[in-house]
Structure 1
Amino acid sequence: MQNFLRNDDLGKLILRLTVGVLILFHGLHKILNPASLDFISKQLTGIDLPPVLAYGVYLGEVVAPLMVIFGLFSRLGGLLIFGNMIFALLLAHSDQLFTFTNTGGWALELQGFYLFSGLAIFFLGSGRWAVRQD
Structure 2
Amino acid sequence: MLERILHNSDLGKLLLRLPVGLLMMFHGFYKLQNGLGFIEKSLAGAGLPTFLAWGVLIGEILAPLLVVLGIYARPAALVEAFVMIAAIYLVHMGDLMSFTQHGGYALELQFLYLFGSLAVVFLGSGKYSLSRGRGVWD
1:129 maps to 128
1:76 alignment partner, SS class:
helix
1:5 maps to 6
1:100 alignment partner, SS class:
coil
1:14 alignment partner, SS class:
helix
1:120 alignment partner, SS class:
helix
User: What whole-Å deviation, never above 9, does each CA across 1:18-55 have from its counterpart, x for those lacking one?
Assistant: 11111111111111112xx1111111111221000001
1:49 maps to 48
Q: Distance in 2 between the 1:31 and 1:103 partners?
A: 32
2:66 maps to 67
What 5-or-longer segments of structure 1 have no aligned partner? none
Q: Distance in 2 between the 1:5 and 1:106 partners?
A: 30
Query: Aligned runs of 1:82-97 on 2, under 5 Å?
Result: 82-97=81-96
2:21 maps to 20
- Paired residue type of 1:17: L
2:112 maps to 113
What 5-or-longer segments of structure 2 have no aligned partner? none
- Paired residue type of 1:108: L
- Paired residue type of 1:73: Y
- How much does 1:4 deviate? 1.6
Tell me how large the CA RMSD over aligned residues is: 0.8
Structure 1 segments (4+ residues) deviating >4 Å: none
- How much does 1:104 deviate? 1.1
User: What whole-Å deviation, never above 9, does each CA across 1:52-111 have from its counterpart, x for those lacking one?
Assistant: 000111011101110000000000111011000001001110000000011111001111
Q: Distance in 1 between the 2:55 and 2:88 partners?
A: 15
Q: Distance in 2 between the 1:26 and 1:32 partners?
A: 10
**What TM-score do the two structures reach when normalised by structure 1?**
0.95
Identical-residue share of aligned pairs (%):
50
Q: Distance in 2 between the 1:24 and 1:42 partners?
A: 21
